[in-house]
């Protein structure tokens, strides 16, 4: 379900570079599989795929069905890995605009899934509260630590608002947090909120296939079982050293990192994949950005960004590599009509699909950027559907673990994130 084509990038390397790196790539891969690398206590994101908990998937689906029945809005409070995975999969697979409506009742078939607690904007939250007025609201408070300021402050503001409007408020608040510790866990126990557990050995940026991502994704109407088992299948496939696209991707990134490249652009041609890019940025940035190492991860959405950043990518500083994330088979094509005239000079495209034009835009961009001195490679997902997307999520998680080990860092911790928090709390205690 995932194919990685790195042939264009090879022209920027010596013939033996990849083969010379192979033993180190396999050693890094063995570290992951045999749990001998740094951070091996945090490999729950693989274990939950190797021993699927079908009862949990069914429970999440049952809760999601209740929420889909009862709620107009499902509000997810979380930041970083506690919302990026859910947002990414929902953006990729759920209806793009308003959810479909029940033809008899006129009610939307699914609630709007909205996000908050991912910043400290008072204006945003005031506008959101006004929007939620007179709506049936369920809230999922998601925090592994149970102490993250943005999430918990937002919940502090929302709690009285919910209590004033919903007599069954305890039923409408679902907490996803550590099963044994943290303030949020205690609050849920004291206030009688329903709880889902984030496995202690799964880090936030690796938690999309736990209840952190799966409950919001299920509420949005996405088939979480097929998503989950797409990842299970990919986890099984990537156990082999041979014919392993995740190892090839990790190796290519490492080779260019060692040759002084500083950034990686993940380029998508489908706006629905922009959220996957944001999730990928945290996954790679937070896993590799340590000890002065790591390619800075950035996401671009083409062809849109070719009209704003295309100049830089084509002729700016040659310090970036470009990885395209493409969908091989598009859903129902949109055909360009024959308008009976050629006023726009585009009559020659009549009868072709817009998807065909977009794919040719990709091919043209790939060639131009290669000619412009950018090492380009492409990750192909065969369809934009739950199974292939689950495979894609696991592909990136597997690749970043191996890539982090190649860099000689622990891919599963994030000590640097505490620095700004220390400064911020020092100031907050003085206000
Ligand atoms: O889930 P939480 O504990 O609230 O953490 C949410 C996010 O913030 C932390 O500071 C880390 O940088 C992230 O890895 C994490 O996903």
What whole-number distance in Å separates Cα of residue 60 and Cα of residue 209?
A: 12
What SS3 class is residue 120? coil
What's the rounded mean pLDDT across residues 27-37? Answer: 98
CA of 405 to the centre of ligand 1 (A): 22
151 Cβ inside 6 Å of ligand 1: yes
Nearest CA to ligand 1 atom 4: 143
Of 138, 153, 143, the C-alpha closest to 72 is 138
Ligand 1 atom closest to residue 148's alpha carbon, by position in its atom list: 4
365 Cβ inside 6 Å of ligand 1: no
**Other beta carbons less than 10 A from residue 140's beta carbon:** 28
Residue position matching structure tokens 């034009």: 357
Residue 100 has pLDDT above 80, yes or no: no
Residue 99 has pLDDT above 80, yes or no: no
414 Cβ inside 6 Å of ligand 1: yes
pLDDT per residue as tens digits for the range 136-192: 999 999 999 999 999 999 999 999 999 999 999 999 999 999 999 999 999 999 999
pLDDT band (50, 70, 90) for residue 109: confident
ipTM: 0.99
What whole-number distance in Å separates Cα of residue 409 and Cα of residue 412?
A: 9
Judge whether 58 counts as a catalytic residue.
no
Report the pLDDT value the prediction gives residue 186, as an integer from 0 to 100.
97
Of 405, 379, 398, the C-alpha closest to 293 is 405
CA of 79 to the centre of ligand 1 (A): 6
CA of 376 to the centre of ligand 1 (A): 31
Query: Where along the chain do its domains lie?
Result: 2-36+228-407, 45-222
Nearest CA to ligand 1 atom 10: 417
Helices 224-237/211-219 angle, 10° precision: 140
Domain 2-36+228-407 has CATH 1.10.357.10: no
Alpha helices in 39-167 (DSSP H): 44-50, 54-70, 84-93, 122-132, 149-165
Strands 137-143 and 73-77: parallel
Ligand 1 mutation pick, 77, 78, 81, 83, max ligand atoms within 8 A of CB: 81
Residue 388 has pLDDT above 90, yes or no: yes
Q: Which two tokens stand for residue 412?
A: 């599963």
CA of 147 to the centre of ligand 1 (A): 9
The domain covering 45-222 belongs, at the CATH homologous superfamily level, to Glucose-6-phosphate isomerase like protein; domain 1 (3.40.50.10490)
Judge whether 286 counts as a catalytic residue.
yes
What burial class does residue 200 get, using C-beta atoms within 10 Å of its C-beta: 0-12 exposed, 13-18 middle, 19+ buried?
Answer: middle
Q: How far is CA 365 from the centre of its chain?
A: 24
80 Cβ inside 6 Å of ligand 1: yes
Core vs surface per residue 214-245: b (16+ CB within 10 A) or e: bbbbbbbbbbbbebbbbbbbbbebbeeeeebb
Report the pLDDT value the prediction gives residue 203, as an integer from 0 to 100.
98
Q: Give the single-character DSSP code of 409.
A: S
**Other beta carbons less than 10 A from residue 350's beta carbon:** 13
Residue 366: CB partners within 8 Å, gap ≥ 6? 8, 324, 376, 378
Nearest CA to ligand 1 atom 12: 417
118 Cβ inside 6 Å of ligand 1: no
Torsion of CA 104, 115, 184, 155, to 10 degrees: -90
213 Cβ inside 6 Å of ligand 1: no
289 Cβ inside 6 Å of ligand 1: no
Ligand 1 mutation pick, 77, 78, 79, max ligand atoms within 8 A of CB: 79
**Other beta carbons less than 10 A from residue 290's beta carbon:** 18
Report the pLDDT value the prediction gives residue 111, as an integer from 0 to 100.
95
Contact between 184 and 175 (Cβ < 8 Å): yes
Ligand 1 atom closest to residue 151's alpha carbon, by position in its atom list: 4
Ligand 1 mutation pick, 76, 82, 205, max ligand atoms within 8 A of CB: 82
What whole-number distance in Å separates Cα of residue 146 and Cα of residue 186?
A: 9
Q: Which whole-number Å values give the CA distances from 242 to 22, 28, 247, 330, in the listed order?
A: 10, 14, 9, 29
pLDDT per residue as tens digits for the range 44-63: 999 999 999 999 999 999 99
Report the pLDDT value the prediction gives residue 405, as an integer from 0 to 100.
98
Of 143, 140, 92, 133, the C-alpha closest to 113 is 140
76 Cβ inside 6 Å of ligand 1: no
pLDDT band (50, 70, 90) for residue 372: very high
CA of 56 to the centre of ligand 1 (A): 23
């Amino acid at each position: 379900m995932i194919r990685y084509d790195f042939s264009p990038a090879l022209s920027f390397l010596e013939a033996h570079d990849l083969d010379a790196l192979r033993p180190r790539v396999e050693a890094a891969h063995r570290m992951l599989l045999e749990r001998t690398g740094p951070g091996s206590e945090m490999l729950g994101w693989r274990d939950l795929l190797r021993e699927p908990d079908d009862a949990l998937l069914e429970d999440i689906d049952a809760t999601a069905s209740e929420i889909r029945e009862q709620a107009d809005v499902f509000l997810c409070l979380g930041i970083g890995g506690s919302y990026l995975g859910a947002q990414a999969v929902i953006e990729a697979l759920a209806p793009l605009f308003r959810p479909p409506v029940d033809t008899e009742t006129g009610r939307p078939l699914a609630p709007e899934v909205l996000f908050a607690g991912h910043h400290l904007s008072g204006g945003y939250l005031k506008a959101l509260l006004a929007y939620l007025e007179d709506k049936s609201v369920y809230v999922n408070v998601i925090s592994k630590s149970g102490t993250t300021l943005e999430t918990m402050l937002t919940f502090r503001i929302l709690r009285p608002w919910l209590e004033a409007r919903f007599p069954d408020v305890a039923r409408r608040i679902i907490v996803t947090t550590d099963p044994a510790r943290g303030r949020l866990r205690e609050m849920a126990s004291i206030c009688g909120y329903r709880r889902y557990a984030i496995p202690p050995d799964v880090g936030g940026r690796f938690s999309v296939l736990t209840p952190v991502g799966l409950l919001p994704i299920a509420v949005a109407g996405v088939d979480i079982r097929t998503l989950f088992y797409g990842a299970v299948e990919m986890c099984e496939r990537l156990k082999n050293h041979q014919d392993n696209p995740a190892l090839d991707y990790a190796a290519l990134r490492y080779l260019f990192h060692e040759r002084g490249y500083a950034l990686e652009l993940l380029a998508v041609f489908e706006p629905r994949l922009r959220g996957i890019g944001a999730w990928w940025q945290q996954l790679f940035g937070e896993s590799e950005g340590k000890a002065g190492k790591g390619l800075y991860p950035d996401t671009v959405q083409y062809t849109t960004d070719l009209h704003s950043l295309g100049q830089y990518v084509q002729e700016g500083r040659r310090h970036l590599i470009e990885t395209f994330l493409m969908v091989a088979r598009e859903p129902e094509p949109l055909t360009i009509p024959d308008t009976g005239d050629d006023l726009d000079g585009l009559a020659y495209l009549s009868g072709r699909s817009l998807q065909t034009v977009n794919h040719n835009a990709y091919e043209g961009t790939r060639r131009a950027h290669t000619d412009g001195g950018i090492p380009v490679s492409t990750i192909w997902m065969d369809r934009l559907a739950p199974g292939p997307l689950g495979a894609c999520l696991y592909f990136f998680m597997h690749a970043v673990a191996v890539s982090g080990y190649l860099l000689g860092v622990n891919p599963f911790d994030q000590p640097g994130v505490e620095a700004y928090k220390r400064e911020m709390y020092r100031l907050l205690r003085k206000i």
